[in-house]
Amino acid sequence: MNLDKLQNWLQENGMDVAYVSSPTTINYFTGFITDPEERIFKLFAFKDAEPFLFCPALNYEEAKASAWDGDVVGYLDSEDPWSKIAEEIKKRTKDYQNWAVEKNGLTVAHYQALHAQFPDSDFSKDLSDFIAHIRLFKTESELVKLRKAGEEADFAFQIGFEALRNGVTERAVVSQIEYQLKLQKGVMQTSFDTIVQAGKNAANPHQGPSMNTVQPNELVLFDLGTMHEGYASDSSRTVAYGEPTDKMREIYEVNRTAQQAAIDAAKPGMTASELDGVARKIITDAGYGEYFIHRLGHGIGMEVHEFPSIANGNDVVLEEGMCFSIEPGIYIPGFAGVRIEDCGVLTKDGFKPFTHTSKELKVLPVKE
């Protein structure tokens, strides 16, 4: 159980209480997630007492019916949540001097409210690095969900490719992708805002879709993903709509070669920096190094960007069970952009992608 890891960590580090504040992290430990909006949704764990989930009364029955089988404490809008939290903690334990908090998700206002209830406690210990570390390594049940999310991404690409025609806007293509995901696959949440970029717009790697229209004989970049039972997919493909120029074909093939080389090279024991260097050297040697302006990849799991960061200078050693993206790109301002991305899991036998849409340059027919 993930929560057992947290309790063991508390004991090993001399901590009394863990304050978990990120809804995604709460989901990781409990199997329940909700968006509390302005209300309070937290998890409290102890070195030697039973944990409890604290949520608005609006979500109490939902939490009780979830995978979480521990205590759930709800509060009304008319109640002071912080005094009720303090009351619940003091019912469970007399030891609440040393707290470990998720600093990445702790606001100043919430810290002040906690401190007012426990003025003599120490809140200096950070949980964030521990949580990031245990989330690095995916279990088989997590991998099943990541693979399913990858299948949904592959479906989304096919919808997007079919939606291309003369004069269609980038936003219209995005709308079609997301509508068909809902209609045909029951996908109610993408893992990030879907990106479709046509022509020179694709030279801006994370620019959102605009009213720019698709025109014949240009490259179109897709970057998309879904959430499947709390786990994300993230994948990119670039296609030619109509006949690409020789220069377009060249940058596509350089990028495709770099991505495949990195996939083939990935293995446990190498560093993230070494893996980044495999793709970066190929693109640089081809004369396009200045146009590869981001890291090679990022971790993926319950969030679309997690650790590890596959970046130049990051000497973290890659290990079996880590999941991350491999996504080199070439972005030439005023001309075109290419990105090819697969997320996958690192195994003893190498990198196994979650997405399988072909990466040979797809040349789509022009449609009116």
| Feature table: binding site for Mn(2+) | 223, 234, 298, 327, 341
- For 148, the token pair is 């399913």
Reported as type and span, the H/E element at residue 224 is: strand 218-224
Reported as type and span, the H/E element at residue 63 is: helix 60-64
Chain mean position to CA 15: 29
Closest of 66, 46, 250 to residue 55, by C-alpha = 66
How many CA within 13 A on the CB side of residue 317? 4
Closest of 78, 96, 98, 77 to residue 87, by C-alpha = 96
Closest of 318, 324, 276 to residue 301, by C-alpha = 324
- List all residues 6 or more positions away from 55 whose beta carbon is below 8 Å from its beta carbon: 34, 36, 39, 40, 41, 63, 72, 73, 74, 75
Closest of 4, 9, 2 to residue 28, by C-alpha = 2
Count H helices and E strands in the chain, helices first. Answer: 10, 19
Chain mean position to CA 22: 14
Q: Would you list which residues are annotated within the binding site?
A: 223, 234, 298, 327, 341
**Residue 352: exposure state from Cβ atoms within 10 A (0-12, 13-18, ≥19):** middle
163/208 Cα distance (integer angstroms): 18
Sign, CA torsion 62/63/68/72: negative
